[in-house]
Amino acid sequence: MERRYPDPAVRVLDERFNALRVTAASVECLYQGARWSEGPVWFGDTRSLLWSDIPNNRMLRWDEETGVVSTFRKPSNNANGNTRDREGRLVTCEHLTRRVTRTEYDGSITVIADQYQGKPLNSPNDVIVKSDGSIWFSDPTFGIDGFYEGEQKPPELTPGVYRVDAKSGEITLMISDLAGPNGLAFSPDESVLYVVDSRASPREILAYEMAPDGCSFNDSRVVIDARDGTPDGFRVDIHGNLWCGWGMGSDELDGVRIFTPRGEAIGHIALPERCANVCFGGRHRNRLFMAASHGLYALYVNTQGVKGG
């Protein structure tokens, strides 16, 4: 990686991105040695980051104070996406067991969802938690399409996006017309749910406008046409900008691409490998952590991730 300021890996595509940059910050490689890094989640109370290494069937932990990377959980049931609920507990999507789980404070595991209408889920992929405590997750077939990230199985459900009610635990199918629902994120005011469709051609990020009840939609639209890019997991900052894992094996695409809420590309963080997912962390939620193929990267930015993101 380049070691000069401003870091040439942080590329301005539109002058509006300048306000989001820290010119005296550069991309840092924190770890190399994964097979497919995914699902980063920040734990401020322990000053650590957890993320998934799906094919290696493990979750890793990076310690901010020491920089040491250790194994957090192995086997992980081919864990993919992770987040924290509004009580600070780890919520994880597992490919092998085809379920969404919560890790309790004592380390025990609670199953949040593993079936819908009596049929097993496909392979929960990404997960977010709304301020009302409801859990939203995508369920494509990626983890059952082969043996690399789970066990090959025939799907019994259409790929979908689900909502789990915080009080009743009821599971509702919210979106069922996407071939490959993937990354999820809410706008800062939670009026919009963004969803990546990984099997659209080209890939798209759609915006679903929430109804006043907070658990249904009024409308949807395509907000980002990825063209040659491959959006995967992403997070939203307090200004509503989308920081998207991006790439497809080229210097121009690999890394993180930043979009306005209207879908305008304004910046790009170039990485030497494709980025699958990101999260904001650090004391002020102003450090972007990037889970990218074999590695984990970080960059300080001049914005903050939304709470709960």
Task: Return the active site residues.
Answer: 232
Largest CA distance in the chain: 56
Dist. CA 174–CA 160, nearest whole Å: 7
Would you say 208 and 193 are in contact if contact means Cβ atoms under 8 Å apart? yes
Residue 117 DSSP symbol: T
Asked whether residue 151 is marked as a ligand-binding residue, the answer is yes
Q: What are phi and psi of 192, to 5 degrees?
A: -135, 135
Cis bond leading into 231, ω under 30°? Answer: no
Residue 240, Cβ neighbours under 10 Å: how many? Answer: 15
Q: Is 142 helix (H, G, I), strand (E, B) or coil?
A: helix
Asked whether residue 125 is marked as a ligand-binding residue, the answer is yes
Q: What are phi and psi of 185, to 5 degrees?
A: -165, 150
Asked whether residue 38 is marked as a ligand-binding residue, the answer is yes
Asked whether residue 218 is marked as a ligand-binding residue, the answer is no
Which amino acids are annotated as binding site for substrate, given as ranges?
125, 151
Which amino acids are annotated as binding site, given as ranges?
38, 125, 151, 182, 232
Which amino acids are annotated as binding site for a divalent metal cation, given as ranges?
38, 182, 232
